[in-house]
Amino acid sequence: MIVCDVCGNEIESAGQKCPFCGSPNEDSTGKEPRQFSRKTINLEAGRPVVEIALNAMHQAIEDCLRNGVTVLTLIHGYGSSGKGGAIREECRKMLDYMKMKGTISNFIAGEDFCKRSGSVKTMLNQYPQLRSDRNLDRGNRGITIVILS
């Protein structure tokens, strides 16, 4: 059994199309099954200033892209003020820019990482392994999920 790239359902590898969504089976197109690997980086460890945290994030993303990591969880914290910290805000601005440039595929703010969200449903179909992520449906404002491929 393999997982359909489009809908995330398990399908038999010998089939020509997914019986659920009709997309071509990876085996029939000759492509390798989508590999899933994930990494978590704690950007707030040691209480760095924003510039150091952004450099660490940038290096972590470059490292993950080189090593074929598909999903990166960034722990940036929510900030001690209770209204969102500078590291969180600047990380998300940088991720937005990286998405626009095509460096990363997408990112989901921790507070939006819930099964009801359309973009999260798409991500869960693409990477069903994330259904068991402990942050799913928890509204964690101190993290961001980055999709690299």
More confident position, 110 or 78: 110
What is the DSSP-derived secondary structure letter of residue 24?
B
20 and 41 inside one domain: no
Bridge pairing between strands 71-75 and 10-11? unpaired
Closest to 141 (Cα-Cα) out of 106, 119, 121, 113: 113
Res. 108: pLDDT tops 70: yes
Q: Are residues 76 and 92 in the same domain?
A: yes
Structural domain boundaries, residue 5: 1-32
Does residue 72 sit in the same domain as residue 22?
no
Q: Are residues 56 and 89 in the same domain?
A: yes
Q: Does the pTM of the predicted model rise above 0.85?
A: no
Task: State whether 63 and 77 are in the same domain.
Answer: yes
**Distance between CA atoms of 8 and 124, rounded to whole angstroms?**
7
Claim to verify: residue 62 and residue 74 sit in the same structural domain: yes
3-state secondary structure of 47: coil
Same domain, 1 and 40: no
Looking at residue 53, what DSSP letter applies?
A: H
